[in-house]
């Protein structure tokens, strides 16, 4: 009998304290967050959040961060699985190939190259979590495959067997962000 009374008293005390803490939580004002950060799946800091971006309806949220790669400032957006260009010195355009299977030298069409005058230079291309820079002069080539971001699922995908001729510039890989960060990414 004494044990049942002790259990009831303990249960009453627990319920009372729990309900009091909920009441306090409901009455406390919202607190500002001083610094949001993006981290990878290992908890490694990717960068401080500079802003929120979602360029197209139906696409996942992304958060702008600044990275310095080989003394070059990169402003990139980070979604749950991908780094993509922000449009401020970094772009994520369709990437073209002379091969039919998205292998070999990568090219970007001249019409896709949009440098920001004096804000962030030089231009960088972000594709498949890799950062590229322009490599050489524009040339006209016959292209047979392309790599682009698929909306569903939100990932890069190869489109084989195209037949287009464009003025393009070759890309040179600057760094592979997959070597430093492991998706999925989250906000802290």
Phi-psi region of 102 (alpha: psi -120 to 50; beta: other; left: phi over 0): left
Percent of all residues in the chain with a pLDDT value above 90, rounded to a whole number: 23
Pairing of strands 45-48, 37-39: antiparallel
* Arithmetic mean of pLDDT, 12-28: 58
Residue predicted with more confidence, 179 or 15: 179
Is residue 127 in a domain? yes
Mean pLDDT over all residues of the chain?
A: 78
Is residue 111 in a domain? yes
Q: What whole-number distance in Å separates Cα of residue 178 and Cα of residue 41? A: 12
Kindly tell me the sign of the dihedral angle through the C-alpha atoms of 17, 23, 29, 30. positive
Q: What is the pLDDT of residue 14?
A: 54
Q: What is the pLDDT of residue 134?
A: 84
Which of 97, 103, 115 has the alpha carbon at shortest distance from 163? 97
Is residue 15 in a domain? no
Is residue 5 in a domain? no
Specify the number of domains making up the chain: 1
* Arithmetic mean of pLDDT, 5-34: 62
Is residue 31 in a domain? no
Confidence of residue 25 (pLDDT cuts 50, 70, 90): low
Residue predicted with more confidence, 118 or 3: 3
Give the residues across from 78 on adjacent strands. 63, 83
* Arithmetic mean of pLDDT, 43-54: 86
Q: What is the domain extent for residue 111?
A: 49-176
What's the pLDDT tens digit per position in 90-113?
A: 667 788 999 999 999 999 887 566
Quick one: 72 exposed, middle or buried, by C-beta within 10 A (0-12, 13-18, 19+)?
A: middle
Confidence of residue 22 (pLDDT cuts 50, 70, 90): low
Is residue 67 in a domain? yes
Q: What is the pLDDT of residue 116?
A: 46
């Amino acid at each position: 009998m004494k044990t049942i009374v002790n259990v009831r008293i303990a249960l009453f005390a627990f319920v009372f304290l729990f309900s009091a803490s909920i009441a306090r939580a409901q009455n406390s004002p919202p607190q500002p967050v001083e610094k949001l950060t993006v981290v990878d799946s290992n908890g490694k800091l990717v960068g401080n959040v500079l802003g929120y971006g979602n360029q197209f309806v139906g696409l996942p949220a992304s958060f702008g961060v600044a990275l310095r790669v080989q003394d070059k400032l990169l402003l990139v957006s980070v979604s749950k699985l991908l780094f993509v260009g922000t449009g401020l010195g970094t772009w994520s355009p369709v990437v073209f190939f002379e091969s039919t299977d998205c292998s070999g030298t990568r090219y970007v069409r001249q019409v896709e190259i949009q440098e920001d005058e004096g804000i962030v230079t030089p231009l960088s291309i972000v594709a498949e979590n890799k950062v590229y820079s322009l490599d050489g002069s524009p040339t006209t080539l016959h292209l047979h495959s392309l790599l682009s971001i698929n909306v569903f699922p939100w990932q890069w995908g190869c489109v084989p067997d195209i037949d287009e001729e464009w003025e393009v510039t070759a890309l040179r890989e600057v760094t592979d962000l997959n070597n430093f960060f492991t998706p999925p990414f989250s906000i802290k």
